[in-house]
Chains A and B, each alone.
Chain A
């Protein structure tokens, strides 16, 4: 989307109409409006990953180059998945269309498009299930919501299943727990069978498969990047930290999303990790092979998720570590918490994580042997093992954004708050309907964080930004803390658009700022290299 055409905030707001159109949803064709969908996947990435039907096509063109037997392929794919996933089967059968989910979706709230009501998103698949897999649908047709699958229908699937961030907010409110993330995952798997996916999902997956991370960073660049971070830590704090890579026999393997060592503001979080590990003398290693905790396979298919996730345990075994710590990331933790052990376990070569500093045994991770860094840090703080000076974060007035997956697929709610309250002096929660399990997505998760999809991202991020705006106006909040790589990448432009003047930071950036470490310098600058005092003065002024 070019600058001059960029839609203005008040234009978006004025255009939102929650009243559905006059034509029924079955008869309203999908409109591929520029700025609201993602680019199609180039064939080479499909080929590299050995995916079916790789071909060149464009989502905005008429002919998508579907194979002649596309309908049979879809039906066969549905039949297979209905036999493999109870979620899919049950969720197809039991929705009563009560509408409780309707205004829970950030894309619906930001666009007013009725097919962004989770119920209708699911109905796109359910209509096919009804017509071709149930007796009632065969007899009663439209009366029970059955609809024939057409090429238009496939396009609708593509548009709306790549307009869902799998954030699961709707499933919190559904009286039967119908989870649209499951529906979307099924929809995307079915589209894959026809060679249809988006570039921003498949390319990172292909990169990750080859090099070990989504950005396709090769080992030398990975090493350089980590070393740069060590240098920057030294420049800003005077502390010399080590960051071993691929070191056998370390106690801990540390895995974080690749954006941490190549993105901003992720990078400051990385510096926070490095300082923390140095401060407590953690015997750990990075891996250049398993250099990605995030998993775009989750946004592609269950098989791809498993293929990418495999590296973590594979590497832990090779390096003979005892347990694994994972960095700040959202969907990464959905995979690590809910899928990894089932897919790539069991982990008899690892030990139940025990903090070498506090002696705390993390029994809740007794099987996966992988803990979240905020669990590790919260435990350290609770046992008074960190020397902290929260005043070094005084220039920040912070609110905390629960990332969708740690909140709704893990229940990691208190750990980050506990840390923030101990390393910062100014913390204010956003309104309760917008945090914890009811948190709003950044609007760009599940592979939708592309430039070409910007308008939809800004719309989807509206509810989150709106809540930030509230605390900015009420409490003077100037920083949104979060623990997700996609958040850190996509919230800055979102907030710049809706709530200019609010920065985005990872929780461990604040930890790094607050940490007192032996041999440190005067600490006149924070991890961003910005003078602490001056900023405070600026804020006072």
Chain B
């Protein structure tokens, strides 16, 4: 049900984008600017909101040996003791999904024996998706600068290394579609993941898949006028927007999907991208006993002092001969 709703929603957005091409001013200028504003402001506001909430306790999840005795080898990446270790741990987490790499699958073998197999599929799928997405976004920078930055050209060459078809087929295009297909199939066919999936979980996948497919479509099948698109994008970047005629409806659909993604981003689970940097179980050092962590709202609480305790048990303490602070 959630799957179908999300699919229909995406189809609906496609249709809106299609008719949007007839209103190039709205769909070429107003919506992109609005979406970008929502994206930037939404993201900044959210990050400020997170940053303003204090971290009262230092609670890293330790996944390796602590630093204690000098002759015991400590693990500064899995149980970081200092800033360097934290940076290393975050780097592995952000760029290589370290924690997901640990993934196992629990199975009740023969109905009697629990076994935990290594399960890297999700990690492979996630890596393929996120890295492809990142490279595709970077590749798109050829539309945003004139002349095109050398590193973008270099990336483009690398991505199209195999020179299959003309124009060169990008590896990332293949990987992103395959990975999204896998992630969708996993949500649909893995009973547990299907059970936890919300409409918005499918929607995020459909939306990005739609962006990728419309992009591929207009690059290889129903080709659009790239020169005119760059003209439009450069004018947007220069804040002197002009919409050239004859860009082709497909581009507007593609752009509209991107705008929806941008606007939707700060209000959705896609916040995991900036969010991972804020996660206190990962971004704090496991040096609790060496360095005091301050809780800015450390509350005054009612405690049971020794004096109160001694008063309550004075007779007993006297009888059993334990030393007293006050005789009476």
Q: What's the Cα separation between A66 and B190 when bound, in Å? A: 39
**Chain A residues closer than 8 Å to B49, beta-carbon distance:** 89
Of B15-23, B160-168, B209-217, B285-293, the segment with at least 4 beta carbons within 8 Å of chain A is B285-293
Query: Within 8 Å of chain A (Cβ to Cβ): is B304?
Result: yes
**Chain A residues closer than 8 Å to B289, beta-carbon distance:** 337, 341, 364-368, 370
Query: Within 8 Å of chain B (Cβ to Cβ): is A19?
Result: yes
Among A93-113, those with CB < 8 Å from B are: 93-100, 102-104, 109
Query: Within 8 Å of chain B (Cβ to Cβ): is A172?
Result: yes
Q: Given contact pairs A90-B280, A109-B114, enumerate 12 new A-B contacts (beta carbons under 8 Å).
A: A24-B195, A25-B196, A94-B272, A173-B99, A173-B100, A179-B281, A210-B312, A246-B322, A306-B301, A307-B303, A343-B298, A366-B291
Chain B residues at the A interface, C-beta cutoff of 8 Å = 2, 5, 46, 49-50, 53-59, 61-69, 71-75, 78-79, 81, 93, 97, 99-100, 102-106, 108, 111-114, 116, 122, 126, 190-201, 203, 267-269, 271-272, 275-276, 278-282, 286-295, 297-299, 301-306, 309-310, 312-313, 316-317, 319-320, 322-323, 325
Q: Does the CB pair A367–B291 fall under 8 Å?
A: yes
Cβ-defined partner of A140 (8 Å) among B71, B99, B200? B200
Q: What's the Cα separation between A303 and B144 when bound, in Å? A: 53
Query: Within 8 Å of chain B (Cβ to Cβ): is A351?
Result: no
Query: Which residue of chain A lies nearest to B105 when distances are taken between CB atoms in the complex?
Result: A103
Q: Does the CB pair B79–A85 fall under 8 Å?
A: no
**Chain B residues closer than 8 Å to A209, beta-carbon distance:** 304
Q: Which of A382, A409, A418 has the most CB of B within 10 A?
A: A409
**Chain A residues closer than 8 Å to B105, beta-carbon distance:** 103
Query: Which residue of chain A lies nearest to B98 when distances are taken between CB atoms in the complex?
Result: A175
Cβ-defined partner of A176 (8 Å) among B201, B279, B305? B279
Residues of A in contact with B, size category: 35 or more
Q: What's the Cα separation between A117 and B194 when bound, in Å? A: 13
Q: What's the Cα separation between A123 and B194 when bound, in Å? A: 14
Query: Within 8 Å of chain B (Cβ to Cβ): is A18?
Result: yes
Q: What's the Cα separation between A302 and B192 when bound, in Å? A: 33
Q: What's the Cα separation between A322 and B2 when bound, in Å? A: 62
Q: Does the CB pair B297–A90 fall under 8 Å?
A: no
Q: Does the CB pair A173–B288 fall under 8 Å?
A: no
Q: Does the CB pair B293–A314 fall under 8 Å?
A: no
Q: Does the CB pair A87–B62 fall under 8 Å?
A: no
Q: What's the Cα separation between A437 and B102 when bound, in Å? A: 11
Closest Cβ of chain B to A219, distance in Å, is: 5
Q: Does the CB pair A143–B116 fall under 8 Å?
A: no
29 A-B pairs with CB atoms under 8 Å apart are: A89-B50, A90-B279, A93-B46, A94-B272, A97-B269, A98-B100, A102-B196, A114-B196, A120-B195, A123-B196, A134-B267, A140-B200, A144-B199, A172-B61, A175-B99, A177-B279, A209-B304, A210-B312, A218-B316, A289-B306, A311-B304, A342-B58, A364-B290, A370-B289, A382-B69, A410-B62, A411-B62, A437-B61, A466-B114
**Chain B residues closer than 8 Å to A99, beta-carbon distance:** 122, 190, 192-193, 196
Q: What's the Cα separation between A362 and B280 when bound, in Å? A: 26
Q: Which 3 residue pairs across A and B have the least CB separation, nearest first? A: A411-B66, A94-B275, A411-B62
Q: Does the CB pair B323–A246 fall under 8 Å?
A: yes
Question: Count the A-B residue pairs with Cβ separation under 8 angstroms: how many?
Answer: 317
Cβ-defined partner of B61 (8 Å) among A90, A97, A306, A408? A408
Q: Does the CB pair A345–B292 fall under 8 Å?
A: yes
Q: Does the CB pair A175–B100 fall under 8 Å?
A: yes
**Chain A residues closer than 8 Å to B97, beta-carbon distance:** 175
Cβ-defined partner of A86 (8 Å) among B53, B190, B196? B53
Chain A interface helix/strand/loop/mixed? helix
Q: Which of A119, A289, A362, A466 has the most CB of B within 10 A?
A: A289
Query: Within 8 Å of chain B (Cβ to Cβ): is A533?
Result: no
In the complex with contacts A177-B281, A343-B295, A415-B68, A87-B195 CB distance below 8 A: no
Among A1-44, those with CB < 8 Å from B are: 10, 13-14, 16, 18-20, 24-25
Query: Within 8 Å of chain B (Cβ to Cβ): is A425?
Result: no
Cβ-defined partner of B275 (8 Å) among A90, A142, A409? A90
Cβ-defined partner of B299 (8 Å) among A109, A306, A379? A306
Closest Cβ of chain A to B118, distance in Å, is: 8
Query: Within 8 Å of chain B (Cβ to Cβ): is A412?
Result: yes
Q: Does the CB pair A212–B309 fall under 8 Å?
A: yes
Q: What's the Cα separation between A517 and B91 when bound, in Å? A: 51
Cβ-defined partner of B59 (8 Å) among A93, A289, A409? A409
**Chain A residues closer than 8 Å to B78, beta-carbon distance:** 411, 437
Query: Which residue of chain B lies nearest to A16 when distances are taken between CB atoms in the complex?
Result: B108
Q: What's the Cα separation between A380 and B289 when bound, in Å? A: 21
Q: Does the CB pair B317–A342 fall under 8 Å?
A: no
**Chain B residues closer than 8 Å to A171, beta-carbon distance:** 61, 281
**Chain B residues closer than 8 Å to A411, beta-carbon distance:** 62-66, 74-75, 78-79, 286
In the complex with contacts A87-B281, A171-B281, A96-B272 CB distance below 8 A: yes
**Chain B residues closer than 8 Å to A413, beta-carbon distance:** 64-66
Query: Within 8 Å of chain B (Cβ to Cβ): is A243?
Result: no
Closest Cβ of chain A to B198, distance in Å, is: 4
**Chain A residues closer than 8 Å to B72, beta-carbon distance:** 378, 414-415, 418
Q: Does the CB pair A437–B62 fall under 8 Å?
A: yes
Q: Does the CB pair B106–A103 fall under 8 Å?
A: yes
Q: Does the CB pair A175–B50 fall under 8 Å?
A: no
